Amino acid sequence: MKFTRTAKILVASGATLLVGALFFGKKARANQQLNTYTLPASDDSGFSKIITNHDQVYDYKFENGQWFTRKKGSSTWINMKTALTPEKYQLAVSRLKKYL
């Protein structure tokens, strides 16, 4: 089967786009994983995990069964259970549990 010049260009362009999408898709997933990291536990009963890629404004931390948040760049962690209403706390925790 013979391809016309236009068909050859379309096939080559499609292959280039597919390879580019696969490369950049894997690179984006790799960068996403770099933003989530686990810290050593302060005691043997649990672990700490800081989540930085959930949104653009806040970082989140799960430590000893409690959730904390802080504005990106800040050093002070705020307990989410005391800062939020029970409904908003449950909603936030249900969205953050996928990172554990």
The pLDDT tens digits for 38-56 are 444 444 346 789 999 999 9
Quote the CA–CA distance of 18 and 62 in Å, as a whole number.
38
Q: Can you list the residues of the chain whose pLDDT is less than 70?
A: 1-46
pTM exceeding 0.85:
no
Q: Which two tokens stand for residue 63?
A: 């430590």
Residue-level pLDDT at 70: 96
